[in-house]
Chains A and B, each alone.
Chain A
Amino acid sequence: MSPAAPRPARAPTALAAQRWAGSLAAASAFLACTASGDLGLSLSAVFFGSIFGASFFGRRAAHRLPWAWNALLIAALLFLVAQFTAGRVDLVLAAARFVALLLIHRLWNRVTLRDEVLLLLLSLLLLCGGAALSAELAFGLAFVAFAVSATWALVLLHLRSEIESGRSAESAQALLASRRLATPGLLLALGLLAMAGLAGSALVFFTFPRVSIGGFRRATGNRVAGLSDRIDLGGQGVISDDPRVVLRVRLPGAARGDLDWHWRARTLELWTGRGWRARAVPGRPVQRLPRRLQPEGRRAEVLRAEIEGVSGISDGVLLTPEGWPIAVEFVRPLTARANDVPRLLRDDAGDLHFSPVEIGDLTYSVTFDRRRDALVDLRGKGRDYPREVASSLIVPRLDPRILALSEELTKGRDPADAANRIERWLSGNLKYTRDLGAGSEDPLADFLFVRREGHCELFATAMVLLLRAGGVPARAVTGYYGGKLTDAGYYAVRAGDAHSWVEVYFPGFGFVPFDPTPPSERGSKLEGLWAKTVLVWDAVAARWRALVIDYDLVSQGRLLKSVLAAVAGAAKRFAGKSSTARSFRVPWLRLSALLFLIALLPGARLLRRWLKARLPSNLAADQRRAVRLWRDARAALVRAGLKVPVGLTAREVARLASSLGLPAQAAAARLAARYLEARWGGRSLLEGEARGLLRDLRRSF
Chain B
Amino acid sequence: MTSAVAVKPISVPSMPRLRRLFRQQRKLKFTRVGRWYCGLSIGIGLAAINTGNNLLFLVLGLMLSSIVVSGVLSEIALRGLEVERTLPATASAGAESLVGLRASNSKKRASSFSLELREEGGDLVGRAYLLLLAAGESHEVAYRFTPARRGLHRLGAIVVATRWPFGLFEKSRQLERPDELVVFPRRVPPPAAQREAAGRVGERPSGRAGHGTELHALRDHRAGEDVRTVHWRSSARAGKLIGVEHEHERRRQVCVALDHRHLSGPVLERAVERAAALVERELNAGADVSLALCGATLPARSGASHLTALLTALALVKSAPNAPGPLSPAGAATFFVGAGEQT
Footprint of B on A, CB under 8 Å? 117, 121, 124, 127-128, 130-132, 134-135, 139, 143, 147, 151, 154-155, 157-159, 161-163, 166, 181, 190, 193, 196-205, 208, 210-218, 548-552, 606, 609-610, 616-618, 639-641, 647-649, 651-652, 680, 701
Q: How far is the CB of A645 from chain B (nearest CB, A)?
A: 11
Quick check: is B302 within 8 A (CB to CB) of the other chain? Answer: no
B178 contacts A203, CB within 8 Å?
no
Nearest residue, chain A, Cβ from B6: A701
- List, in ascending order, chain B residues with CB within 8 A of A139's CB: 55
Contact of A135 (CB < 8 Å), options: B55, B73, B166: B55
Complex Cα distance A117/B131, Å? 21
B70-100 contacts to A, CB under 8 A, are 73, 82, 84
- List, in ascending order, chain A residues with CB within 8 A of B21's CB: 606, 610
Known A199-B65, A647-B176: A639·B57 in contact at CB below 8 Å: no
- List, in ascending order, chain B residues with CB within 8 A of A651's CB: 180
Complex Cα distance A551/B58, Å? 11
Contact with A along B19-49 (1 / 0, CB 8 A): 0011001000000010010001000100111
Complex Cα distance A200/B60, Å? 11
15 contacts between A and B (CB under 8 A): A124-B59, A151-B66, A154-B167, A158-B165, A159-B131, A161-B167, A162-B131, A166-B127, A196-B69, A201-B58, A201-B61, A205-B54, A205-B58, A217-B52, A639-B11
Quick check: is B156 within 8 A (CB to CB) of the other chain? Answer: yes
- List, in ascending order, chain B residues with CB within 8 A of A609's CB: 25
Nearest residue, chain B, Cβ from A698: B6
- List, in ascending order, chain A residues with CB within 8 A of B69's CB: 193, 196-197, 200
- List, in ascending order, chain B residues with CB within 8 A of A158's CB: 114, 163-167
Give the one of B62, B127, B178, B179 with max A CB within 10 A. Answer: B62
Footprint of A on B, CB under 8 Å? 6, 8-9, 11, 21-22, 25, 33, 36, 40, 44, 47-62, 64-66, 68-69, 73, 82, 84, 104, 106, 114, 116, 121, 127, 129, 131, 154, 156-157, 163-167, 176, 178-180
Complex Cα distance A130/B163, Å? 30
- List, in ascending order, chain A residues with CB within 8 A of B116's CB: 162
B55 contacts A549, CB within 8 Å?
yes
Complex Cα distance A128/B54, Å? 11
Complex Cα distance A124/B21, Å? 42
- List, in ascending order, chain A residues with CB within 8 A of B22's CB: 606
Give the one of B22, B57, B106, B156 with max A CB within 10 A. Answer: B57
Contact of A618 (CB < 8 Å), options: B40, B104, B179: B104
Nearest residue, chain B, Cβ from A202: B61
Known A610-B21, A647-B121, A649-B178: A204·B82 in contact at CB below 8 Å: no
Q: How far is the CB of A245 from chain B (nearest CB, A)?
A: 21
A617 contacts B51, CB within 8 Å?
no
Nearest residue, chain B, Cβ from A190: B165
Nearest residue, chain B, Cβ from A639: B8
- In the A-B complex, the 6 residue pairs with the closest CB atoms: A200-B65, A212-B52, A131-B55, A204-B61, A158-B167, A201-B61
Known A200-B64, A639-B11, A647-B121: A128·B59 in contact at CB below 8 Å: yes
Nearest residue, chain A, Cβ from B67: A200
B62 contacts A213, CB within 8 Å?
no
Contact of A131 (CB < 8 Å), options: B58, B106, B165: B58
Complex Cα distance A649/B152, Å? 13
Complex Cα distance A307/B164, Å? 49
Q: How far is the CB of A620 from chain B (nearest CB, A)?
A: 11
Give the one of A127, A550, A609 with max B CB within 10 A. Answer: A127
Q: How far is the CB of A137 from chain B (nearest CB, A)?
A: 11
Chain A binding surface, main DSSP class: helix
A147 contacts B178, CB within 8 Å?
no
Known A121-B40, A132-B56, A162-B131: A216·B51 in contact at CB below 8 Å: yes
- List, in ascending order, chain B residues with CB within 8 A of A617's CB: 106
A213 contacts B47, CB within 8 Å?
no
- List, in ascending order, chain A residues with CB within 8 A of B48's CB: 208
Complex Cα distance A649/B9, Å? 23
- List, in ascending order, chain B residues with CB within 8 A of A210's CB: 52, 57
Complex Cα distance A205/B114, Å? 31
Complex Cα distance A641/B9, Å? 8
A205 contacts B57, CB within 8 Å?
yes
Complex Cα distance A162/B167, Å? 9
- List, in ascending order, chain B residues with CB within 8 A of A143's CB: 55, 58-59, 62
Complex Cα distance A552/B54, Å? 8
Nearest residue, chain B, Cβ from A212: B52
- List, in ascending order, chain B residues with CB within 8 A of A190's CB: 165
B64 contacts A204, CB within 8 Å?
yes
Contact of A204 (CB < 8 Å), options: B25, B65, B84, B154: B65
A155 contacts B51, CB within 8 Å?
no
Q: How far is the CB of A90 from chain B (nearest CB, A)?
A: 13
B52 contacts A162, CB within 8 Å?
no
Complex Cα distance A151/B167, Å? 11
- List, in ascending order, chain B residues with CB within 8 A of A214's CB: 50-52
- List, in ascending order, chain B residues with CB within 8 A of A649's CB: 154, 178-180
- List, in ascending order, chain A residues with CB within 8 A of B68's CB: 200
Q: How far is the CB of B337 from chain A (nearest CB, A)?
A: 27
Q: How far is the CB of B241 from chain A (nearest CB, A)?
A: 50
Complex Cα distance A151/B165, Å? 9
B54 contacts A548, CB within 8 Å?
yes
Give the one of B69, B116, B156 with max A CB within 10 A. Answer: B69
A215 contacts B55, CB within 8 Å?
no
- List, in ascending order, chain B residues with CB within 8 A of A154's CB: 165-167
- List, in ascending order, chain A residues with CB within 8 A of B131's CB: 159, 162-163, 181
Contact of B65 (CB < 8 Å), options: A201, A680, A701: A201
Q: How far is the CB of B59 from chain A (nearest CB, A)?
A: 6
Contact of A639 (CB < 8 Å), options: B9, B163, B165: B9
Give the one of B8, B73, B156, B167 with max A CB within 10 A. Answer: B167
Complex Cα distance A181/B59, Å? 29
Q: How far is the CB of A131 from chain B (nearest CB, A)?
A: 3
- List, in ascending order, chain B residues with CB within 8 A of A166's CB: 127, 129
- List, in ascending order, chain A residues with CB within 8 A of B106's CB: 617-618
- List, in ascending order, chain B residues with CB within 8 A of A134's CB: 55
Nearest residue, chain B, Cβ from A680: B179
Known A121-B36, A158-B164, A159-B114: A131·B56 in contact at CB below 8 Å: yes
Complex Cα distance A210/B55, Å? 12
Known A199-B65, A202-B61, A651-B180: A193·B54 in contact at CB below 8 Å: no
- List, in ascending order, chain A residues with CB within 8 A of B53's CB: 131-132, 217
Nearest residue, chain A, Cβ from B68: A200
Known A166-B129, A200-B69: A128·B56 in contact at CB below 8 Å: yes
Q: How far is the CB of B26 from chain A (nearest CB, A)?
A: 12
Give the one of A121, A130, A155 with max B CB within 10 A. Answer: A155
- List, in ascending order, chain A residues with CB within 8 A of B179's CB: 649, 680
Known A203-B65, A213-B50, A217-B53: A648·B178 in contact at CB below 8 Å: yes
Q: For the A-B complex with A213-B50, A618-B82 known, give 4 more contacts whose Cβ atoms are closer than 8 Å.
A: A131-B59, A181-B131, A190-B165, A647-B157
Complex Cα distance A211/B45, Å? 12
B61 contacts A200, CB within 8 Å?
yes
Nearest residue, chain B, Cβ from A617: B106
Nearest residue, chain A, Cβ from B132: A181
Complex Cα distance A616/B64, Å? 36
Complex Cα distance A128/B47, Å? 10
A211 contacts B49, CB within 8 Å?
yes
Complex Cα distance A270/B208, Å? 144
- List, in ascending order, chain B residues with CB within 8 A of A127's CB: 59
Nearest residue, chain B, Cβ from A154: B166
Nearest residue, chain B, Cβ from A130: B55
Give the one of B44, B127, B157 with max A CB within 10 A. Answer: B44
Complex Cα distance A216/B11, Å? 65
Q: How far is the CB of A698 from chain B (nearest CB, A)?
A: 10
Nearest residue, chain A, Cβ from B114: A162
